[in-house]
Amino acid sequence: MKKNIFTSLTILTILFMIVLFESNKVFAHCDGMDGPVVTAAKKALETGNINLILIWVQKKDEGEIKKAFQKTLAVRKLNPEAKELADMYFFETLVRIHRAGEGAPYTGLKPAGRDLGPAIPAADKAIVDGKIEPVIKLLTDKMRDGINEYFKHVMAKKNFKKDDVEAGRKYIEAYVIFIHYVEGLYEAAKEAAHGHYPEHEEGEPHKHK
């Protein structure tokens, strides 16, 4: 019984982590070749405007980025092959430093066209369109579905016979999961978004992943 509850709560906790810390998911888009960081890097290299990418790193990392940027600009002029290698070097350097600034590990650049799920594209589109309503609907619909699912599970097991200990345990398991789900949603909703990771520097503005 305890193992079942623990397993269920563990799964629930993982789901919360997925919702709350999108940037740490396998399909986080800051490390994608079609993600916002690499996209900004491409524009910076083509225009020579380093300010387009300095906004993606913390102030303490500007020096390293500036050196890498200048080296890349110099090498990419040699020939097409050198340009390709230099650009990839710079993309990797920028993404690595960006992720380190948020306390996130760098696991290499990810290919373009990955399935990012519904949340990240919806959030990005909201910023472009200036309309948050579709994101709110997406999240509220998902939460409503989850609450209803766990609530129905609890109610289906609620009216057990008082001497049926095993049935009572199943009810308690469903009850605990439901309560933790609701509590987790509430705590997540009231939590201030200080950054994806607790390691981000105090006083540093949150940088979008």
Q: pLDDT tens, 31-72?
A: 899 999 999 999 999 999 999 999 999 999 999 999 999 999
What's residue 207's pLDDT?
Answer: 44
Say whether both 20 and 38 belong to one domain.
no
pLDDT at site 205: 41
Read off the pLDDT band of 28 (50, 70, 90). Answer: low
Same domain, 140 and 152: yes
Give dist(CA 15, CA 67) in Å, integer: 40
Name the residue among 99, 103, 106, 105 with its Cα closest to residue 201: 103
Single out the residue in 60, 94, 113 at which a domain terminates. Answer: 113
Whether residue 12 is found in the same domain as residue 57: no
- Dihedral over alpha carbons 41, 201, 196, 103 (to 10 degrees): 70
Residues of the chain above pLDDT 70, percent: 78
Same domain for 119 and 183: yes
pLDDT digits (tens, 9 = 90+) for 111-162: 888 888 888 889 889 999 999 999 999 989 999 999 999 999 999 999 999 8
Q: Is residue 201 part of a domain?
A: no
Domain assignment of residue 5, given as a range: 1-24+115-192
Pair (90, 65) in one structural domain:
yes
Shared domain check, 46 and 84: yes
